[in-house]
Amino acid sequence: MKIAINTGGGDAPGLNAAIRSATLSAIRRGWEVVGIRNGYGSLYSDTPFIPLTRERVRGITMLGGTFLGTANRGNPFEMPYQKSDGTWDLEDRSDEAISAFREHGVEALVAIGGDGSMRIANKLSKKGIKVVGVPKTIDNDIWGCDVTLGFDTAVTTATEAIDKITTTAESHQRIMVVEVMGRYAGWIALHAGLSASADAILIPEIEFSIDSVVEKISEREAKGENYSIIVVAEGAIEKKGERFVKGKVIGQAEQLGGVADYLAKELSSRTGKESRSLVLGHLQRGGTPSTYDRLISLRF
């Protein structure tokens, strides 16, 4: 049998461990394994697949990122193209992807990715490709999955960052607003905020009220606690407000961000206290995977 392995969407700690485990498990069965580079991007090139051997995956378990490369664009069902008038639109090029699998004798796909990648894999399966999905995302938001690979490392990174910013907040008697990733799910904010003893945690699942946050800060001030830590998920929404979006690129999901800066300014205005915002951003997706993420990646 010949199988292909793909990593799509945002990178996450543990991807290389999953690639190694899937490759070695297949080789032990006498199967041939190939990798798809840069999401599904290489399917539209002259060399759509690269051979995956014992030598190629040796020593990669502890490495962050994915050596196959990944991409947030390149959905075979919604490929961006430029029209004659210079504007951009989307087209379905999935048949070309299916042809690449057939022409190279690939019988099944191991799709390692998040919710977007799983949707693509599901569509490919409906077009005849045999698929095994491996749930990967620091956001931990894949339906039917308790814990995704990459989540534990991201939460640990976020917790350590909040711990460090807390000492500065206390020293300067400031309000610190820390924005974490998670898109439309609050798992990172909730876990990191609780473990770092944040004073308020704002998540997409519950619309927030600035008045409630101000009230919490005032309660702390009354107790002589002259600093506060606010953890907010990038997809959090104020009551009767809209999600904070930095931009939108055709063929990609909307880019979230800006809620921490907004909160810091509002809280400073309403409380009279100095406030600062910190966006952890892509720092949460990088680095060496934790022990838990290495093990769950290998098990997947």
pLDDT digits (tens, 9 = 90+) for 55-78: 999 999 999 999 999 887 778 998
Over residues 26-49, the mean pLDDT reads 93
Dump pLDDT digits (tens) for 253-291: 788 999 999 999 999 999 999 999 999 988 999 899 999
pLDDT at 164: 95
Residue 209 carries which DSSP code?
Answer: -
Q: Is the pLDDT of residue 119 over 80?
A: yes
Dump pLDDT digits (tens) for 196-217: 999 999 999 999 999 999 999 9
Q: How confident is the model at residue 122 (pLDDT cuts 50, 70, 90)?
A: very high
pLDDT at 71: 82
In the chain, the amino acid numbered 276 is: R
One of 139, 152, 199, 293 is an active-site residue; which one?
A: 139
Dump pLDDT digits (tens) for 7-25: 988 899 999 999 999 999 9
Look up the pTM and report it. 0.91
pLDDT at 265: 96
In the chain, the amino acid numbered 17 is: A
Name 81's bridge partners.
89
Could you list the beta-strand ranges (E) of the chain.
Answer: 2-7, 32-36, 49-51, 79-82, 88-91, 108-113, 130-135, 175-180, 200-202, 228-233, 245-247, 255-256, 275-279
Q: Which two structure tokens, joined as six digits, stand for 169?
A: 């907040």
Whether 139 is catalytic: yes
Q: Domain residues of the chain, as ranges?
A: 2-136, 151-285
Q: Is the pLDDT of residue 252 over 80?
A: no
Q: Is the pLDDT of residue 191 over 70?
A: yes
Over residues 242-248, the mean pLDDT reads 85
pLDDT at 253: 76
Over residues 109-127, the mean pLDDT reads 93
151-285: CATH number: 3.40.50.460
Phi-psi region of 183 (alpha: psi -120 to 50; beta: other; left: phi over 0): left
Q: How far is residue 193 CA from its own chain's centroid?
A: 18
Q: Is the pLDDT of residue 251 over 70?
A: no
Question: Is the distance from CB of 107 to CB of 273 less than 8 angstroms?
Answer: no
Indicate the fold that domain 2-136 takes in CATH.
Rossmann fold (3.40.50)
- 151-285 shares the fold of 2-136: yes
